[in-house]
Amino acid sequence: MGGGIALLLAENGVHVSLSDPSEETMDGIMQKAKKAGYNGLVEKYKDHKSLCRSLSKPRLLVFSLPHGNVGDKVLEGLMPYLDRGDIVLDCGNEHFTNTERRQEHCKGTGVRYIGSGVSGGYQAARAGPSICPGGDESALKDVMPLLEKIAAKDEDGNPCVGVIGRGGAGHYVKMVHNGIEHGMMSAICEAWGIMRKMGMGYEDVGKVLQKWNDSGELKGTFLISIGADLSHKRYPGTDGSTKGQPLVISEVLDKVVQDVTGEEGTGIWSNTEAIERHVPAITLNAAHAFRLASAYRGDRIKANELTRGGFAPQELEIDNKNAFIEKLRRATYLACLASYIQGMQVIARADQEHEWHINYANIWKIWRGGCIIQADYISDKILKPILLKPSLSPADMHLLFHQHVAEEVLKSYPSLRRIVSKAVETDQVAPTLSASLEYFKMVTGTDLPTSFYEAELDYFGAHMFDKKGEEDTDGPTEGRHHFEWKPVQTQRQVYGASSKV
């Protein structure tokens, strides 16, 4: 990512001083710069002192580092050579609490720290990513012209960058972007698995994904478009030709490991945040659990043996394949929409709590292009009418509270139900699609079986309950009633006089 950003900056005429523990990595970037004709614009520096000396003031230091300690160490190493007014632009996926801690630490020194998510993967880092910066207002004012230059552009040519808000808001929004990304990726891979079990070849599935990306509710969805593309990629043979070579996808093992290996943290953080902000983000939770289950392939093999082959998905016999695929498209869309609804709610709750003053119109802007969760239909039809409203209330951020969103859910819900029920009957692996179905049932239900849950809680814990007709008007409040479901008994009454001590 860092190499791509360095070359992108050089392409825009910026002098870049590189610093990386690996000489080889830096040489590789310098070679690419030379090849691209950015002569003299990229130089490498081994130590912090010479790096900082090479930069004109106020300096702009761009981080693209693994999260956590690494950023702390690099900042600590740079600090003695930085001056008041210098700016650190942290473009990694950092936990917002680390961002805010560093911002606080920098404050006394006059160094200005911006936490800025970037999205779009390493290809976008080179061509122009979607960028969501947050933090010091004056620093943001200084860097925005440059960020606007290097950012991805949407279909109208507008840069996909905007100030998100105070403190760690930029990194927070990027974290939730990744939570939404995981929900969408999971739903799409489940749809892919179902199509494969319908007997469709990899390339046939690719063609369907291409159609989904071309029109309808999944139009312009980046993850669908790359799915269509990758479905046709073959390894080159010794003569460079791909003819008769295996499709790459046919050889990819079924494990997603980066949560477990600690390379990335955004999936864990966004789910933890959803739970801590009391958001029922079951689509995101299921997607995350699916990744975790997939990571432990060795455990799966063992459990598969013990369950005599596990519960392998059956081949699907579908009479009207086209009609079924249309339902699958709608089901996938609804799971993607659920991911957005849940993610936005997490952001809004955190915004209220941290008082980041998030600019929601800018969230719309940064997700319009260049990012992994780019979804043109959702952007135009769902988000635009809400996020671009001149004044927004916290309730607006519950996307489902808007009639046009509710109508979308109503339109595609029967398809989601049909797909999930078929998946359940035939043991297809569809955790995120199933969770999304449950999500819409849960969050629209007004007679949930949680009456019984509440009664049990009151039975054993005296946790109180409200009675039917006693509605909360201002958010959840503790129940008003306790019923003595069973009189408290003494130990002797329960266990008898002869119980052993």
Ligand X SMILES: NC(=O)C1=CN([C@@H]2O[C@H](COP(=O)(O)OP(=O)(O)OC[C@H]3O[C@@H](n4cnc5c(N)ncnc54)[C@H](OP(=O)(O)O)[C@@H]3O)[C@@H](O)[C@H]2O)C=CC1
Ligand Y SMILES: O=C(CO)[C@H](O)[C@H](O)COP(=O)(O)O
CA dist 495 and 263 (Å) reads 53
Clarify whether 44 is annotated catalytic.
Answer: no
Answer with the entry of ligand X, ligand Y, none that 432 interacts with (C-beta below 5 to 8 A by kind): none
Q: Which single residue is written with the structure tokens 């911006």?
A: 114
Clarify whether 174 is annotated catalytic.
Answer: yes
Closest distance between ligand X and the C-beta of residue 174, in Å? 8
Tokens read off for 287: 């997607």
Looking at the Cβ atoms of 132 and 416, the one nearer to ligand X is 132
Check binding of 272 to ligand Y (CB under 6 A): no
CB 349 within 8 A of CB 402: no
Check binding of 128 to ligand X (CB under 6 A): no
Residues in the chain: 501
Query: Of the listed pieces 5-13, 114-122, 238-246, 344-352, which binds ligand X according to CB under 6 A?
Result: 114-122
64, 103, 294, 345: residue in contact with ligand X (rule CB under 6 A): 64
Residues 103-122 that bind ligand Y (CB under 6 A): 119, 121
| Helix (H/G/I), strand (E/B), else coil: 280 | coil
Q: Which long-range contacts (CB under 8 A, 24 or more apart) does 45-53 make?
A: 45/17, 45/18, 45/19, 46/19, 48/19, 48/77, 48/78, 48/80, 48/81, 49/81, 51/17, 51/19, 51/78, 51/81, 52/78, 52/81, 52/82, 53/81
Tokens read off for 408: 């979308």
Closest distance between ligand X and the C-beta of residue 65, in Å? 5
Query: Of the listed pieces 156-164, 235-243, 263-271, 300-308, which binds ligand Y according to CB under 6 A?
Result: 263-271
Check binding of 190 to ligand X (CB under 6 A): no
Closest distance between ligand Y and the C-beta of residue 68, in Å? 14
User: What is the torsional sign of CA 408, 411, 414, 418?
Assistant: negative
Looking at the Cβ atoms of 31 and 304, the one nearer to ligand X is 31
CA dist 330 and 414 (Å) reads 9
Answer with the entry of ligand Y, ligand X, none that 434 interacts with (C-beta below 5 to 8 A by kind): none
Answer with the entry of ligand X, ligand Y, none that 92 interacts with (C-beta below 5 to 8 A by kind): ligand X
Residues 118-157 that bind ligand Y (CB under 6 A): 119, 121
Check binding of 268 to ligand Y (CB under 6 A): no
264, 376, 380, 396: residue in contact with ligand Y (rule CB under 6 A): 264
Looking at the Cβ atoms of 70 and 144, the one nearer to ligand X is 70
CB 310 within 8 A of CB 303: yes
- What is the secondary structure of 111-154 as a DSSP string? -EEEEEEEESHHHHHHH--EEEEEE-HHHHHHHHHHHHHHS-B-
Residues 74-103 that bind ligand X (CB under 6 A): 74, 92-93
CA dist 128 and 9 (Å) reads 10
Residues 7-26 that bind ligand X (CB under 6 A): 20-22, 25
> Residue 396 contacts by C-beta under 8 Å, 6 or more apart in sequence?
386, 389, 402
Of 11, 94, 100, 181, which one is the catalytic site residue? 181
Cα 484 to the center of its chain, rounded Å? 46
Closest distance between ligand Y and the C-beta of residue 267, in Å? 5
| Helix (H/G/I), strand (E/B), else coil: 44 | strand
Residues 355-414 that bind ligand Y (CB under 6 A): 372
* Residues labelled as active-site residues: 174, 181
Give contact residues for ligand Y (rule: CB under 6 A): 93, 119, 121, 178, 181, 258, 264, 266-267, 372
Residues in the site for ligand X, rule: CB under 6 A? 1-2, 20-22, 25, 64-67, 70, 73-74, 92-93, 118-119, 121-122, 264
